[in-house]
Amino acid sequence: MRTKLEIRGVEILKGYLDPQAQADMVSDIREVVRAAPLFSPETRFGKKMSVAMTSAGTYGWYTDRRGYRYERKHPSGVHWPPIPERVLAVWRDLVSAERMPDCCLVNFYREGAKMGLHQDRDEADFSWPVLSISLGDAARFRIGSVERGGTTESVWLDSGDVCVMGGEARLVHHGIDKVRFGSSSLLSDGGRINLTLRVVD
Protein backbone atom coordinates (compact mmCIF):
# COMPACT_ATOMS: atom_id res chain seq x y z
CA MET A 1 0.00 0.00 0.00
CA ARG A 2 1.40 3.37 -1.01
CA THR A 3 1.54 6.21 1.49
CA LYS A 4 3.27 9.59 1.31
CA LEU A 5 5.29 11.36 4.00
CA GLU A 6 7.07 14.69 3.94
CA ILE A 7 10.00 15.44 6.26
CA ARG A 8 11.77 18.78 5.94
CA GLY A 9 10.55 19.07 2.37
CA VAL A 10 11.74 15.59 1.37
CA GLU A 11 8.90 13.55 -0.13
CA ILE A 12 8.93 9.89 0.87
CA LEU A 13 6.66 7.52 -1.03
CA LYS A 14 6.31 4.41 1.09
CA GLY A 15 5.65 1.20 -0.83
CA TYR A 16 5.95 2.84 -4.24
CA LEU A 17 7.36 -0.35 -5.80
CA ASP A 18 5.53 -3.62 -5.18
CA PRO A 19 7.52 -6.83 -4.52
CA GLN A 20 7.57 -7.94 -8.18
CA ALA A 21 8.69 -4.50 -9.36
CA GLN A 22 11.47 -4.59 -6.76
CA ALA A 23 12.66 -8.02 -7.92
CA ASP A 24 12.60 -6.92 -11.56
CA MET A 25 14.63 -3.81 -10.74
CA VAL A 26 17.21 -5.85 -8.83
CA SER A 27 17.63 -8.04 -11.94
CA ASP A 28 18.23 -4.90 -13.99
CA ILE A 29 20.83 -3.65 -11.50
CA ARG A 30 22.65 -6.98 -11.60
CA GLU A 31 23.10 -6.40 -15.33
CA VAL A 32 24.50 -2.94 -14.60
CA VAL A 33 26.97 -4.44 -12.12
CA ARG A 34 28.04 -7.10 -14.62
CA ALA A 35 28.91 -4.36 -17.10
CA ALA A 36 30.44 -1.98 -14.53
CA PRO A 37 31.47 -3.90 -11.38
CA LEU A 38 31.05 -2.51 -7.88
CA PHE A 39 34.05 -0.76 -6.31
CA SER A 40 34.76 1.00 -3.01
CA PRO A 41 36.39 4.39 -3.60
CA GLU A 42 38.27 6.65 -1.21
CA THR A 43 36.97 10.01 -0.10
CA ARG A 44 39.01 13.14 -0.72
CA PHE A 45 40.30 12.70 2.84
CA GLY A 46 41.79 9.29 1.98
CA LYS A 47 39.18 7.25 3.87
CA LYS A 48 37.72 4.21 2.14
CA MET A 49 33.93 4.34 1.87
CA SER A 50 31.99 1.53 3.58
CA VAL A 51 29.54 1.29 0.68
CA ALA A 52 30.37 -0.29 -2.66
CA MET A 53 29.19 1.59 -5.73
CA THR A 54 28.88 1.79 -9.47
CA SER A 55 26.79 3.88 -11.87
CA ALA A 56 24.68 3.84 -15.00
CA GLY A 57 24.04 6.62 -17.49
CA THR A 58 26.15 9.24 -19.21
CA TYR A 59 28.10 9.92 -16.02
CA GLY A 60 29.10 8.03 -12.92
CA TRP A 61 29.71 9.66 -9.56
CA TYR A 62 33.26 9.18 -8.32
CA THR A 63 35.53 10.17 -5.48
CA ASP A 64 39.22 9.90 -4.67
CA ARG A 65 41.83 12.19 -3.12
CA ARG A 66 41.22 14.65 -5.98
CA GLY A 67 37.69 15.19 -4.72
CA TYR A 68 34.06 14.43 -5.55
CA ARG A 69 33.06 14.58 -9.21
CA TYR A 70 31.38 12.88 -12.17
CA GLU A 71 33.31 10.75 -14.64
CA ARG A 72 32.27 9.43 -18.05
CA LYS A 73 33.93 6.03 -17.50
CA HIS A 74 34.10 3.31 -14.88
CA PRO A 75 37.53 2.98 -13.17
CA SER A 76 38.21 -0.02 -15.44
CA GLY A 77 37.95 2.30 -18.46
CA VAL A 78 34.61 1.06 -19.82
CA HIS A 79 31.70 3.43 -20.38
CA TRP A 80 28.89 3.26 -17.85
CA PRO A 81 25.95 1.10 -19.01
CA PRO A 82 22.58 2.71 -19.80
CA ILE A 83 20.16 3.45 -16.98
CA PRO A 84 17.60 0.59 -16.95
CA GLU A 85 14.22 1.45 -18.44
CA ARG A 86 12.35 0.36 -15.30
CA VAL A 87 14.41 2.83 -13.27
CA LEU A 88 13.75 5.62 -15.77
CA ALA A 89 10.02 4.87 -15.55
CA VAL A 90 10.07 5.89 -11.89
CA TRP A 91 11.74 9.19 -12.81
CA ARG A 92 9.17 9.81 -15.57
CA ASP A 93 6.32 9.19 -13.15
CA LEU A 94 7.60 11.34 -10.29
CA VAL A 95 9.88 13.98 -11.87
CA SER A 96 9.75 14.52 -15.64
CA ALA A 97 8.87 12.77 -18.88
CA GLU A 98 11.04 15.18 -20.91
CA ARG A 99 14.38 15.53 -19.12
CA MET A 100 15.99 12.24 -18.17
CA PRO A 101 18.66 11.88 -15.46
CA ASP A 102 22.30 11.79 -16.52
CA CYS A 103 23.42 9.49 -13.70
CA CYS A 104 22.05 6.60 -11.69
CA LEU A 105 24.41 6.04 -8.78
CA VAL A 106 24.18 2.50 -7.37
CA ASN A 107 25.21 2.19 -3.73
CA PHE A 108 25.37 -1.26 -2.13
CA TYR A 109 25.29 -1.41 1.67
CA ARG A 110 26.70 -4.59 3.16
CA GLU A 111 26.33 -5.31 6.88
CA GLY A 112 27.71 -2.39 8.90
CA ALA A 113 27.89 0.04 5.96
CA LYS A 114 26.59 3.58 6.37
CA MET A 115 26.73 7.00 4.75
CA GLY A 116 27.50 10.17 6.70
CA LEU A 117 25.49 13.36 6.40
CA HIS A 118 26.23 15.06 3.09
CA GLN A 119 24.74 17.23 0.37
CA ASP A 120 24.28 16.28 -3.29
CA ARG A 121 25.90 19.34 -4.81
CA ASP A 122 28.26 18.16 -7.57
CA GLU A 123 25.64 18.89 -10.24
CA ALA A 124 25.36 21.99 -12.44
CA ASP A 125 21.63 22.57 -12.03
CA PHE A 126 19.94 22.28 -8.64
CA SER A 127 16.49 23.01 -10.08
CA TRP A 128 16.12 19.30 -10.85
CA PRO A 129 15.35 17.07 -7.86
CA VAL A 130 17.30 14.06 -6.69
CA LEU A 131 15.31 10.82 -6.74
CA SER A 132 16.30 7.87 -4.55
CA ILE A 133 15.03 4.27 -4.69
CA SER A 134 15.52 1.81 -1.80
CA LEU A 135 15.81 -1.94 -2.44
CA GLY A 136 16.54 -4.64 0.13
CA ASP A 137 17.20 -4.20 3.84
CA ALA A 138 15.60 -1.32 5.73
CA ALA A 139 17.78 1.72 6.46
CA ARG A 140 17.49 4.64 8.85
CA PHE A 141 17.54 7.78 6.72
CA ARG A 142 18.64 10.92 8.54
CA ILE A 143 17.60 14.34 7.24
CA GLY A 144 19.12 17.62 8.38
CA SER A 145 18.94 21.12 6.95
CA VAL A 146 20.70 22.98 4.16
CA GLU A 147 23.18 24.41 6.64
CA ARG A 148 25.55 21.98 8.31
CA GLY A 149 24.80 21.22 11.95
CA GLY A 150 21.60 21.62 13.93
CA THR A 151 18.86 19.11 14.54
CA THR A 152 17.97 16.17 12.32
CA GLU A 153 15.00 13.88 11.83
CA SER A 154 15.06 10.20 10.88
CA VAL A 155 12.77 7.77 9.11
CA TRP A 156 13.15 4.09 8.25
CA LEU A 157 13.21 3.42 4.52
CA ASP A 158 11.96 0.00 3.47
CA SER A 159 12.42 -1.90 0.24
CA GLY A 160 10.33 -0.27 -2.48
CA ASP A 161 10.29 3.19 -0.92
CA VAL A 162 11.18 6.20 -3.09
CA CYS A 163 12.41 9.64 -1.93
CA VAL A 164 12.30 12.87 -3.90
CA MET A 165 14.47 15.79 -2.76
CA GLY A 166 13.53 18.90 -4.68
CA GLY A 167 12.84 22.58 -4.25
CA GLU A 168 14.06 23.90 -0.91
CA ALA A 169 14.93 20.31 0.11
CA ARG A 170 17.27 19.78 -2.86
CA LEU A 171 20.39 20.61 -0.82
CA VAL A 172 19.47 19.31 2.61
CA HIS A 173 22.11 17.26 4.40
CA HIS A 174 21.12 13.60 4.53
CA GLY A 175 22.65 10.21 5.18
CA ILE A 176 22.16 6.59 6.20
CA ASP A 177 23.32 5.86 9.71
CA LYS A 178 22.10 2.27 10.11
CA VAL A 179 20.97 -0.65 7.97
CA ARG A 180 18.81 -3.33 9.55
CA PHE A 181 20.73 -6.20 8.00
CA GLY A 182 18.61 -9.21 7.09
CA SER A 183 15.30 -7.36 7.40
CA SER A 184 14.39 -8.01 3.76
CA SER A 185 14.44 -11.20 1.70
CA LEU A 186 14.80 -9.34 -1.61
CA LEU A 187 18.57 -9.91 -1.79
CA SER A 188 19.50 -13.53 -1.08
CA ASP A 189 22.61 -12.60 0.91
CA GLY A 190 21.13 -9.53 2.56
CA GLY A 191 22.16 -5.92 2.13
CA ARG A 192 20.63 -2.77 0.69
CA ILE A 193 20.76 -1.25 -2.78
CA ASN A 194 20.14 2.46 -3.15
CA LEU A 195 19.66 4.03 -6.57
CA THR A 196 20.14 7.80 -6.78
CA LEU A 197 19.06 9.55 -9.98
CA ARG A 198 20.43 13.01 -10.77
CA VAL A 199 20.53 15.51 -13.60
CA VAL A 200 24.23 16.41 -13.87
CA ASP A 201 24.60 18.94 -16.73
pLDDT higher at 1 or 128: 128
Given this model, what pLDDT does residue 46 score?
Answer: 81
Cβ 59 vs Cβ 105: under 8 Å: no
For range 6-20, the mean pLDDT? 98
Given this model, what pLDDT does residue 44 score?
Answer: 81
The C-alpha atoms of residue 144 and residue 151 are separated, in whole angstroms, by 6
For range 36-63, the mean pLDDT? 93
Dihedral sign, Cα of residue 41, residue 53, residue 125, residue 130: negative
Given this model, what pLDDT does residue 47 score?
Answer: 83
Given this model, what pLDDT does residue 123 score?
Answer: 97
Question: For the chain, what percentages of helix, strand and coil (3-state, to nearest 5) are there?
Answer: 15, 40, 45
Cβ 133 vs Cβ 87: under 8 Å: yes
Q: Dihedrals φ, ψ of 88, to 5°?
A: -60, -30
Tell me the CATH number for domain 3-198. Answer: 2.60.120.590
In the chain, pLDDT over 70 holds for what percent of residues?
A: 100
Cβ 40 vs Cβ 51: under 8 Å: yes
105 pLDDT exceeds 90? yes
Which residues, at least 6 apart from 54, have a Cβ–Cβ distance to it below 8 Å?
A: 32, 33, 36, 37, 38, 39, 60, 74, 80, 106
The C-alpha atoms of residue 131 and residue 93 are separated, in whole angstroms, by 11
Given this model, what pLDDT does residue 57 score?
Answer: 98
CA angle 45, 48, 54 (to 5 degrees): 115
In the chain, pLDDT over 90 holds for what percent of residues?
A: 93
43 pLDDT exceeds 90? no
Strand partners, 196: 105, 132
For range 130-135, the mean pLDDT? 98
DSSP conformation class of 102: S
| Helices and strands in the chain: count of H runs, count of E runs | 2, 13
Given this model, what pLDDT does residue 194 score?
Answer: 98
Report field, pTM of the whole predicted structure over 0.85: yes
The C-alpha atoms of residue 15 and residue 134 are separated, in whole angstroms, by 10
Tens of pLDDT along 147-191? 998 999 999 999 999 999 999 999 999 999 999 999 999 999 999
Given this model, what pLDDT does residue 37 score?
Answer: 98
Cβ 80 vs Cβ 74: under 8 Å: yes
